[in-house]
Amino acid sequence: MSPSLFRRLTVGLAALTGVLGASLAGIRAADAVTVPILVADVDSGKVLYAQAPTDPWYPASITKLMTTYVALDLVRQGKVSLDSMITISAAATAEPPSKMGFKPGTQLTLDNALKIIMVKSANDIAYAIGENLGGSIDNFATLMNETAQRIGMHDSHWYNPNGLPDPRQWTSARDMAVLARALIRDFPESHDLFSISAIQFGRAVMANHNGLLGRYPGTDGMKTGFICSGGFNVVATATRNGRRIVTIVMGQPSPRERDVKAADLFDYAFAQSAGWTSPTLDALPASALSAPPDMRPFVCGGKKPPAIEDGPGALNAPGSAAQLIGGAAANSPALALAAFSNPALRARSLPPRAPLQPIAVWIGRNPAEGQQIIDAQEAEQKAAVANSRAAKLEAAKARRLAALEAAKQARAARAEQAQAAKATAKTPAAKVAAKAGHPLPHAASAYTAVETPTMPEAKPGKGLSKPAPKAAAHKAAPAKAAAKKPAAKKAASDE
């Protein structure tokens, strides 16, 4: 072997070892959880690429594909029609976002309801579909599970029609590929339902959450979903040269990485041919896992999560990137090193989206009735705002009048007190007291009773003679007065 050839082989092996070593180290750091990925040919059901295809996973809003199949199947059976009215209940209104926010009692056709859940992914509308078509959410979930078994889904358990978090509700990449093929096969007349780029309700335009539509050539469906425990998921279909591929990517840390990875998988799949050795969806082995892993620590990192349906994007937790690559589990080395290279994913993005082509949706039976309802609701809202404002103004006026009346009464009370004090000051006793320097207090009376002390009468005793004649009495009076003066003088000296 020549030295130059040996050197090239050495460098190549070192680079390959470094890439695989980094991937394996990252996977060990993330507890070796492998995210589900599957690529299959729609017509034949042949699997072109698979990674953990039957592992249980939280579906999030790709659940709405199952809800749509059940609804379209009921239409096919003649039990309902696309013009059947769906009534929004208070329970549906209480569902968390993403939602339309219609008032309880609002009605819309099943056709418009399906368009809304496929584009806006409105949880309140999906809940209302389940209530109206199943009679209750539990009954509709039973229909979902029975239908899933009938069309060949073996790994799915359904408990609600919108995909909001429920630890009992999960599916697999294989089951979602089976469901996608069944929707395309059984309802070809509803093909456009899964490729609507946007809906328009009134003046509001809402774009589809599927970031591949209008950005990856040939994309024609289907649905995205996100919750922290399941990451960012997508079931996507694309057609090129008459060949249709379905790609399922789950557990991604952001919508962009999910979309770029799906685009790479489409590129890979369209370059491959499904040979006789390729397994079918039904032939994929069952998973050894008994329940889905919780991706919350890796996807949301303990921070505030984005909206239930594709918000601005989740934040990566430390060590989560390699865990979400799944490179070591790839069955194609070229695909592992190219499509699943996380640094490459972070540095790339899809082209800008093509201009939206909104499809109108409405409440009521037709657009005219829907506009009348909207106008009536707007008039009612304006009237409520005006009434609220008038009530606030009236309350403020009442408070002002009450304050003025209280001030008036306070002034009157002060004036009355002042007049009473003035009248008291004019009484004779008050004048005398004022001249003496001791004005009477307001509570004192101007008239007081004065008792004049009298001398006690002398009682006859032994050795006393009879009372003297009047002349003698007159002579004794000065003597008594003289005897009284020293006592008064002594009393004054005791103070």
Q: Which residues contact 397 (CB under 8 A, 6 or more apart)?
A: none
The residue from 61, 190, 229, 278 that is catalytic is 61
The residue from 23, 98, 121, 229 that is catalytic is 121
Active-site annotation holds for 156: no
Map the chain to HEC letters: CCHHHHHHHHHHHHHHHHHHHHHHHHHHHCCCCCCCEEEEECCCCEEEEEECCCCCECCHHHHHHHHHHHHHHHHHCCCCCCCCEEECCHHHHCCCCCCCCCCCCCEEEHHHHHHHHHHCCCHHHHHHHHHHHHCCHHHHHHHHHHHHHHCCCCCCECCCCCCCCCCCCEECHHHHHHHHHHHHHHCHHHHHHHCCCEEEECCEEEECCCCCCCCCCCEEEEEEEEECCCEEEEEEEEEECCEEEEEEEEEECCHHHHHHHHHHHHHHHHCCCCCCCCCEHHHCCCCCCCCCCCCHHHHCCCCCCCCCCCCCCCCCCCCHHHHHHCHHHCCCHHHHHHCCCHHHHHHCCCCCCCCCCEEEECCECCHHHHHHHHHHHHHHHHHHHHHHHHHHHHHHHHHHHHHHHHHHHHHHHHHHHHHHHHHHHCCHHHHHHHHCCCCCCCCCCCCCCCCCCCCCCCCCCCCCCCCCCHHHHHHHHHHHHHHHHHHHHHHHHCC
Q: Which residues contact 352 (CB under 8 A, 6 or more apart)?
A: 215
Rounded Cα–Cα distance for residues 238 and 479 (Å): 146
The residue from 46, 64, 99, 223 that is catalytic is 64
Strands 107-109 and 85-87: antiparallel
Active-site annotation holds for 121: yes
Catalytic positions: 61, 64, 121
